[in-house]
Structure 1
Amino acid sequence: MWRVLVVEDQTIVRQGLKVILEQDPTIIVTHEAENGQQAIEIMEKHLIDFIMMDVRMPVMNGIEATRIIKERWPHTKILILTTFNDDEYAMQALKEGANGFLLKTSEPAKLIEAVYSCMNGGLTIHDEVAAKVMPRLLQRNQKKSMDVDLTPRELEITKLVGEGQTNKEISERLHLSVGTVKNHITHILQKMNLRDRTQLAIYAVKHHLNDI
């Protein structure tokens, strides 16, 4: 069972998200918050696996809350859910360590699918947002030299991460255990001096590994 915190300042939207998410038996919304500050206070007292975070909220917005939560509880997954198709919000959210970025226009099934993707190590970005964000992320990273010798297996895993595959999907594709895949990715990140899976995906796209 995944313990979920919904952070949204509009009560009716918050309750609607709770109903949608709890249609899946693996998901339980254990806590709700009206702003980022409340979310941090809840994190200090309770174990939370996943956070669905709005962007524009009073007291503390979702971007700032994401930054603080990821610094203090890096293993908690955060999905940004917003009304605004603004690539700058997405850029900031991903920079602060968010595990995904969806618009509130997404279908209910897509929200649940995004929870599974994030919890399994994937990166979910709404198609409309990704079309604008990925070129900017690539351009921003052009100046960084990440040319590191990878083993054939590491290269293969990096390619699959770039395709948006989760650890479970990679394990099934390569006939490895999920634990082995996680260990490989940790080693790859260390070897390449990358912070997280998002940067590794960017590396894969930038170096056209999907074409190999």
Structure 2
Amino acid sequence: MTDVIRLVVADDHEVTRTGFVSLLAGLTQFEVVGQACNGQQALDLCERLLPDIVILDIRMPVLNGLGAARLLQERLPSLKVMMFTMDDSPDHLEAAMNAGAVGYLLKDASRHEVIDALQRVAAGEQALNSSVSAQLLRRLTERNASGAAPVTLTPRERQVLGLVASGMSNREIGEKLGITTGTAKAHVERVIGKLGAADRTQAAVRGIALGLVTQS
């Protein structure tokens, strides 16, 4: 592959961003054209710079990596998304893939693994952490075998779940939907319960993995 692969790197920790860039030092096939500290900045940069690949952390302020990935898939379908994260849960991998990611790499990956993943993603292939993807495959197999009943949310609950997945607080959800903070909190707690999640983050991840998250 002779063309330069243009990248945008998004992570709310500057050390991680600069470390990722340093990994690619001296490799002329890659060019980091932009860096962002949250998902919204990544979205804006990608729309302006049109890179080949965007590297997203999952946990970021303003707009998390999963929310950014879904919006980028809608607005820039040819852009390839790779997650670079500490989250080694199959829930997060499934959510990332449903959000449009074709790469999923853990932050303890070696330089060789990072470069190999970028090359594979640029070539149109998937590049998924092997241990996490194996866990996900086992989970999907067990889920299909169990015939578990699907989770059903009302249109309002799906709307609330989408806002939770975007990182909004109960107060922000209330302001967005024109309801009180208390009512927003009740909706969020009901959604968490229906999804069998332990907290808001797990509810968001499971909702995305199950295809229940809608944009508001």
Q: Is TM-score (shorter-chain normalized) higher than 0.5?
A: yes
- 1:48 pairs with one of 30, 33, 51: 51
Match of 1:153 in 2: none
Q: Secondary structure at the match of 1:56?
A: coil
CA RMSD of aligned residues (A): 1.7
Q: For residues 110 and 47 of structure 2, what CA distance do their matches in structure 1 show?
A: 32
Match of 1:81 in 2: 84
1:49/1:77 contact within 8 Å kept? yes
Q: For residues 85 and 134 of structure 2, what CA distance do their matches in structure 1 show?
A: 17
Q: For residues 139 and 77 of structure 2, what CA distance do their matches in structure 1 show?
A: 25
Change (3 A) 1:141 1:100: farther
Is 1:7–2:15 an aligned residue pair?
A: no
Is 1:115–2:118 an aligned residue pair?
A: yes
Is 1:135–2:138 an aligned residue pair?
A: yes
Q: Secondary structure at the match of 1:114?
A: helix
Give unmatched runs, 5+ long, in structure 2. 148-216
In percent, how many aligned pairs have the same letter? 32
Change (3 A) 1:47 1:22: farther
1:32-71 matches, within 5 Å, as 32-71=35-74
For residues 158-189 of structure 1, give each alpha carbon's deviation from its aligned partner in whole angstroms, at most 9, with x where no partner exists. xxxxxxxxxxxxxxxxxxxxxxxxxxxxxxxx
Q: Secondary structure at the match of 2:33?
A: strand
What displacement does 1:38 show?
Answer: 0.4
TM-score (structure 2 length as normaliser): 0.62
TM-score (structure 1 length as normaliser): 0.64
Q: Secondary structure at the match of 2:104?
A: strand
1:53/1:81 contact within 8 Å kept? yes
1:24/1:112 contact within 8 Å kept? no
Give unmatched runs, 5+ long, in structure 1. 144-212
What displacement does 1:139 show?
Answer: 5.6
